[in-house]
Structure 1
Amino acid sequence: MPRCRHYITAMPIAMNQSFALDRRAAAAVPATARVPFHQIADDKAMLRAAAELTRDLATPRPAIYWADLGVSALVGYAALVVAATADATWLTIVASVVSVLALYRALLFIHEISHVKHAALPRFRLGWNALVGVPMLTPSFMYEGVHNLHHAKTRYGTSEDPEYLPLASMKPWTLPVFILVSLLAPLGLLIRFAILGPLSFVIPALRRPVVERFSALAINPDFRRRVPEGEALKQFNRIDLSASAWALTLVALVAGGVIPLRSFAIGFAIMSAVAVLNQVRTLVAHLWDNHEGEAMSVTAQYLDSVNVPPPSTLPALWAPVGLRYHALHHLLPGLPYHSLGEAHRRISAALDGSSPYHKASYAGLPGLVGRLVRSTMGRKG
């Protein structure tokens, strides 16, 4: 993602909002005793076992996808309406928490859409965009054609990875700013779809930069997505127009008083909370320790990623839709989310304690955040 300036983007579920950041300083961290990630070779026994033990788990089950998405969206929107219209403060707070967790879960199906073969889940992308992507101004094209680059063996952890920054070796102030900037994600998305999107359709010179710079859920600010071509471009434009139409309608409803300002503010706060929760999850999805910026083996990518398996229970809330098995997902990116738990159990039982497989599992969120904070505290500034 030309490297004249260095930024962090607002969030993976946002447009390219950014703030100044000295990424080059990350390469200057003191040498440690650990083996650099780019020097870790693939553990062929682990890769072979993972592939062989999970072949029967690779088919997505449409009933699970549709039911999970439908219930999550229904609960999320119903709770949002209650929160936005309730007179009692306690009810507004409770309903807001429920809405945040449910809509967050529904939103994270964008990750599955970027991996699943669409023929295996007919019309699921269309349904997700109609229920979640367009209403929440994060349509599927913000991730499709972008997230797959994060899984490319020659790109992961490098400057060409749209979803990687060496956070563990950056300055301490980057972490709180990384989280706090996501509070503005709903505003950034409104600007993208209510202003930049419509303008780019009538001002041709603006269209390319809008697509390249403000149409990807990336945390690497130097990333520029490729402009789709052919049928993919037509689909991109259709979804973009739909999201822009909804954004303009929302603004008009608020400006006209149809949606009270208080209700809009509560909805904005809920969407901000969804963004912050996702940003926190992103913060602990990897160890972010590839400060060398070199290409890494699949095993090294796995070890730089995080599983938070049972008996921990809270990850089901802050890392739903299979994202508690993020390291395993990097090992087997084609597995549907509902198969990851069983895959983890099988592989864990089959491989002995010396296997690298067991080294990517962590107890929970506090320990992971603490590890990252301690790593950054080694830097001054």
Structure 2
Amino acid sequence: MHGEYKVPGGKLVAVDLDVEEGVLRNVRVAGDFFLEPDEAILSIDRALEGASSSTDTAGLADRITAALPESTVMFGLTAEGIGIAVRRALAHATEWSDYDWQLIHEAPQSPALHMALDEVITAEVAAGHRPPTLRVWEWASPAVIIGSFQSLRNEVDPQGAERHGVTVVRRVSGGGAMFVEPGNTITYSLSVPEALVSGLSFADSYAYLDDWVLGALADMGIKAWYQPLNDIATDAGKIAGAAQKRIVGSDGGPGAVLHHVTMSYDIDADKMLEVLRIGKEKLSDKGTRSAKKRVDPLRRQTGLAREAVIERMIDSFRTRHGLTRGKVTDEEMARAEELVRTKFGTEKWTARVP
């Protein structure tokens, strides 16, 4: 069995192993990480040898840590990262390079249609009918997107939304509310087979699926990091929030994960405060005193036009994982438009948590 895991902000860890009578055998850890002293790699292999194949990531990491020489220095590597690679090997996880990735970047769509397209495209990936897909959104109108379980009245000021012509929609994933206007955010979705995140905890899958965009930001001179559970941040503050939804495959398909991210490019914070009910508790939880700091714009940090930032992100993904341009099929669009009519565009869905 073979498993790989790129430690967020670190290096790739690869593990090869066998399982005999429920325990790990012939374990070999490798990768492009840095490790001193040399013999520490043998200590890691020996620590994993004989472990039960049901040992969780934390248990594997504990075995590794206990076996390492006191002078061990790891760079780009963690005991937990090795444990995750082992669990991915045992789960027969796939890798980014196993797939032919498709890009969808089309004309602006209404907020409700974006919600529907996320569901339809991810369901197609879950059923095995479409390749893993990166979809970059363009917005036709301003919107507030609330999480699946958020209270509508607690999150949105209806008078502020009406005054600024903001449409309120509810997505299928959890997480918090996002305020967007055409041209002021960068939003994208990854619809990936569930096998890509096999062996990862729910929290680890966020970091794993966000890693490529951290690399893209680094290419633009921005030092960013994953901030648990679902934020991307820099020294200047939070710049993005992610959310996920698991979708079961139909027709015997493998299942899929929807991972979507909204990044702040040039938010009108004053308008946002008139539309969203952002409480002091939420701001203090993020360690910030003002909403303006929480939506630090990518425009100021990159000095690039929004379109240039998007193009560089797409190029970065293509360089790392390969990417060919695709489109929403006529059948997918028809299904999405029907979902707008019956679900995402209805008061029943939007106010399902009043």
The structure in which a higher percent of residues are helix is 1
Higher relative contact order (CA 8 A, sep 6+): 1
Q: TM-score, normalised to structure 1's length? A: 0.23
Give 1 or 2 for the bigger CA radius of gyration.
2
